[in-house]
Amino acid sequence: MLNSTGELEFSNEEDPEIISQLTSLPLSSGKSSAGVPEKTGYPDSVYVMAANIFQGIQIEKSAQKVLIKYGNEPLRSLSESEDQSFQRLSYELAFSALKYQDILETILIDSCIFPSTTIPDHLSSLIIVMLYDFQDRKFQTRVLSDNEEPISEVQEVENLLNSFKIKLAAALARCRIKHDAVSIYHILPETVRKQELRASTLPLYAWINTCKISPEEVYNNLKRRGYNKVKSVLHIDDKVFAVDQHCYDVLIFPSHLKNDLINIDLFKDYKLIFQDKSRSLAVHSVKALLNMEDDILMVNTGSWYTVAHMSVLTNNNTSKVFVCGVQSQAKDPDLKTLFTKIGCKNIEILRETFINIESKDHRLQKVKVILLLPRCSGLGVSNPVEFILNEHEDTEFLKDHSQGGISVDKLHVLAQQQYEQLTHAMKFTKAQAVVYCTCSVCPEENEAVVEKALEFQDLGNKGQPYRLSPPVLPLCSLKEIQLSTDKFFRMEPSEITNGCFLSILTRERDPSETVSVKDVLARAAAKGLLDGIELGKSSKREKKKKKSKTSLTKGATTDDGIQMKIAEFLNRETKASANLSETVTKPPLPQKNTAQVEASSQTRKPNKLAPHAAVPTFMKNTCPSRPHERQTRFLRPRPEDRMVALKPIEIVLPPVFMPFSSPQGIRSRMPAQHLYCRWVAPKALVPTCLPTRSLSGKEEKPKDDTPSSLLRPPRRWL
C-alpha cells in the first residue's frame, strides 16, 4: 500500500485559481488541441506491459545522480495479449516515458512524491509511465471500461497521482518556465523533435502477397472499399493508396488509415502485409540477382515478414530460402503457422548462428546470393516503435532513439560486428553476390564497413574477388541519382520514408559455369522486362545450338561456292585474253597488274570500248549479273569513293578520227586502219574529282616510240 504524509495538507498551500490555470496550459505538445479527441487513458494491462518494457530500457545513472530506484522484478499481468495493437500501445507509452525520463523524475521529486511516500522499487516504472499519460491527459480523470478487470497495482498508483494532482501540475509549470518552453515537448533535443515530426507524417508500406492474390485484385478490392489510387499519398487525408516506384508489389497508405486497414480482410488474411520499405528494397535487390535455381541465405532478418517476402518473390523458381540464427525450437510451431498462413513453401531454418556456419557447408552449395541485414543503430528510422514491432526484437533499439543518437563506443562495437559478418559472407566460395542493407545513415556502419571488407578480402579463395556493383533498383529522382554516384544506394530520412543504405557486392562467375537461357529470362523478369511472357515457352538450348550449327554450315557452304565461281570465271577470262593476244600481229602489250587483268577480263557488250583508267578500279566492275563479286571484293570502299561525282560508265566512241587541232599532221602519222582512242589516266592516285579541263592534242598525241600504248587491235565482235 502507498502511504503519504503530506497529501492531505496540500490543498491549502496553493491558490485554486492559479492551479486551474496551470492545468489548462498545453503540457506535452506544442500543437493546438482543437479538433483532436480528448485522451481517456489506457487499459490497466497496457500500463503494466509498458512498465515492464520501461524497466528493461530505462537509462541507468551513476550512484551520485540516482534520484529514483527501479527494481528488477517485473509486474505480473492477468493476461498476456498477443494483439498487435495492444503491443503497439504499450511500446509507444514506454518509449514516450523513456524520452521524458529526466523531466518526469524531476517532477516527481519537485512534487514531493519522492521521497515523502513509501513506494516499492518495482512500482517506480509503473509510476513513470502512468505520470506521463496523466500529464498528457492534462491531469483529467481516466475513463474506466466496464469490461476490463482492474489490476490492483495500477489502481493504487492512479490514486496516488490523483491525490498529488495539483502539486504535479505546479511542478510541471515550473519545469517549463525553467527551460523557457511552451510544453515539455520543446524541452526534448532537436534531433528527437525532428524524428517525432517525421514519424507523424510517415506513410504506411505494405507488400502484396502474390501467392494469394494478384496486384489487380488488390486494387479492385481497395476501390470497392472506397480507396482511390493516386500517385502520392503525401498530405492527403482521404482514403487513398499509391504504388511504390522502386518495388512494384509495395503499396503506400497514409498513416492515419492504420486502424482502418488492420481490420479489413486483405490484412487479416495475409494478402497485404505491413513492412518497412528498406526491407522490401533489400529483397527486391536479391531477386534481381537470382537465376532460376539459385538459393538464398538470409542473415539477421529481424522480422519473419522479410523472410516471407523473399519466399513469395521466389515462389515461381526452384530456389530455397535458408535462414540462420533461430536457436530456440519453441518458435518452430509459431513460425510454421505463420509461413503456412502466408503461403511460403521454400523456407529452411538453420539452427546455427551465421558466424558458426562453415563456408563449405554441404547444405549451402547452391546458395548464390547472401542477404545480410546486420543489427545496426537504426538512426535512419523515424518511427522506432513501428520498426521494432515489424523488424527488430531488441528493446535496446528504443533506448538509443530516445536520446536522438548513439554513443561512439557502441557505434564502434556495431561496426565491428557488421564487418565480421560481411567478411564471413564473402568467404562462401559458391556465392556470387552479397546484398548488405542497414536502416542507418551513419557512414561508420555503411560505406566504411563495405570498403574495409573489399580492401581486406581474402584473395586466396577459389572464387573471383568481390567488387562493388551499381544498384539494381530503379533511380526515380535526381536526388537518388546523386546519392548513388559511388555505386551505393541511399535514402535519407524524410516525411515519406525512413533512411536506409544498400550495397551490392558481386564477383565474376566462374568461367566453367554456363548461364542457361532460363537464368537470363529469370533476371529479365525480375527487372520487369518480360511482362506477360511465360518463361516456360522459351526454346531449349540444344535446339538453338543445332540451329546455329546448321546456319553456320550453310553460310560456309554458300561462301565457298561463291569463291569457286569467282575463281573459275577469272581463269576462263584469263585464257580468253591469252588466246586473243596470240592472234594479234602487233608487238605484245606489257604485262598488266592484277587490277588491269580483272578489268580487261570482264564481259563487254559489242561496239564498246574499255572504260577510262582514271575511273577507280572497283567502279569498272558494273556487271549487274554478278552482284556477289562486288560484295566479296570490295567490302570496305576507299575514302575517295564518297568524293567521286560521276557514276561508273563505259565511254564508247565510234570508229572515226578524233578532231585534233592539226588533222593533216596527224593523218600523215596515223596508219590507214581505224583508230580506237583510249583515255589514259596518270599513274598517281585518283583525284578527289574528275578533271574538268578539256583535253588537248598534246595529251592524246601518241608517241613515236610507243605507238602500241594507244593503238589496240580490232575486236573479234566488231
**CA-based nearest residue to 383, from 392, 372, 375, 371:** 392
Q: How confident is the model over 413-450, as pLDDT tens digits? A: 999 999 999 999 999 989 999 999 999 999 999 999 99
Continuous segment of H or E residues that includes residue 205 = strand 204-208
357 with 458, same domain: the answer is yes
Task: Tell me if 326 is assigned to some domain.
Answer: yes
146 with 285, same domain: the answer is no
Question: What span, in angstroms and rounded, lies between the C-alpha atoms of 464 and 510?
Answer: 7
Task: Tell me if 321 is assigned to some domain.
Answer: yes
- Residue 628 above 70 pLDDT? no
What is the residue whose three cell numbers read 567521286?
644
Burial 159-172 (b: 16+ CB within 10 A, else e): ebbebbbbbbbbbb
Q: Which three cell numbers stand for residue 637?
A: 570502299
144 with 285, same domain: the answer is no
Task: Tell me if 129 is assigned to some domain.
Answer: yes
Average pLDDT, the chain: 76
Contact status, residue 581 vs residue 589, Cβ threshold 8 Å = yes
Task: Tell me if 374 is assigned to some domain.
Answer: yes
Q: How confident is the model over 690-700, as pLDDT tens digits? A: 444 444 444 44
352 with 479, same domain: the answer is yes
Write the CA distances from 308 to 41, 287, 347, 528, integer angstroms.
36, 13, 8, 21
321-324 and 240-243 as β-strands: parallel, antiparallel, unpaired? unpaired
Give the end of a domain, one of 171, 187, 203.
187
Burial 21-35 (b: 16+ CB within 10 A, else e): ebbeebbbeeeeeee
Contacts with 136 (C-beta within 8 Å, 6 or more apart), sequence order: 27, 28, 39, 96
Task: Tell me if 127 is assigned to some domain.
Answer: yes
Q: Which three cell numbers stand for residue 140?
A: 483529467
- Radius of gyration over every alpha carbon of the chain, rounded to an integer in angstroms: 45
Could you tell me which residues are beta bridge partners of residue 298?
A: 323, 371
Give the end of a domain, one of 491, 509, 527.
509
Q: What is the residue type of 543?
A: K
Query: Per residue, what are the HEC states of 470-507?
Result: CCCCCCCCHHHHHHCCCCCEEECCCCCCCCEEEEEEEC
Task: Tell me if 175 is assigned to some domain.
Answer: yes
Length of the chain: 718
Q: Which three cell numbers stand for residue 306?
A: 522479410
171 with 284, same domain: the answer is no
Catalytic residue among 439, 442, 500, 623: 439
- Residue 708 above 60 pLDDT? no
Question: What span, in angstroms and rounded, lies between the C-alpha atoms of 80 and 304?
Answer: 21
183 with 316, same domain: the answer is no
154 with 290, same domain: the answer is no
- Please tell me the predicted confidence (pLDDT) of residue 561: 61
Q: How confident is the model over 539-560, as pLDDT tens digits? A: 455 555 555 555 545 454 455 5
What is the residue whose three cell numbers read 546486420?
374
Residue 89 region by backbone torsions, left for phi larger than 0, else alpha for psi between -120 and 50, else beta: alpha
With 0-12 CB in 10 A as exposed, 13-18 as middle and 19+ as buried, what is 439?
buried
If you average pLDDT over residues 239-251, what whole number do you get?
95
- Please tell me the predicted confidence (pLDDT) of residue 520: 72
183 with 281, same domain: the answer is no
Q: How confident is the model over 249-264, as pLDDT tens digits? A: 999 999 899 889 988 9
68 with 172, same domain: the answer is yes
Continuous segment of H or E residues that includes residue 298 = strand 295-299
Contacts with 225 (C-beta within 8 Å, 6 or more apart), sequence order: 239, 264
Q: Which three cell numbers stand for residue 89?
A: 500501445
Q: What is the DSSP letter of 3?
A: B
Task: Tell me if 518 is assigned to some domain.
Answer: no
pTM of the model: 0.67
What's the domain range around 424? Answer: 275-509
Q: How confident is the model over 315-358, as pLDDT tens digits? A: 888 899 999 866 555 566 778 889 999 999 899 988 888 998 98
**What are the helix and strand counts (H, E) for the chain?**
26, 13
Query: Per residue, what are the HEC states of 348-408?
Result: EEECCCHHHCCCCCHHHCCEEEEEECCCCCCCCCCCHHHHHHHCCCCCHHHHHHHCCCCCH
Find out whether the peptide bond into 115 is cis, omega within 30 degrees of 0.
yes
With 0-12 CB in 10 A as exposed, 13-18 as middle and 19+ as buried, what is 285?
buried
- Residue 29 above 60 pLDDT? no
302 with 432, same domain: the answer is yes
Contact status, residue 458 vs residue 426, Cβ threshold 8 Å = yes
- Please tell me the predicted confidence (pLDDT) of residue 20: 52
Structural domains of the chain, count: 2
Q: How confident is the model over 359-410, as pLDDT tens digits? A: 888 899 999 999 999 988 888 888 888 878 776 557 777 887 888 778 889 8
Question: What span, in angstroms and rounded, lies between the C-alpha atoms of 499 and 195?
Answer: 11
Q: Rounded to the nearest 10 degrees, what angle do helices 124-136 and 101-110 cross at?
A: 90
474 with 331, same domain: the answer is yes
Task: Tell me if 448 is assigned to some domain.
Answer: yes
306-315, 512-521, 598-607, 639-648: least confident range: 598-607
CATH number of the structural domain spanning residue 378 = 3.40.50.150
| Annotated catalytic residue 442 | no
Most confident among 181-195, 220-234, 345-359, 543-557 (mean pLDDT): 220-234
Give the end of a domain, one of 509, 526, 556.
509
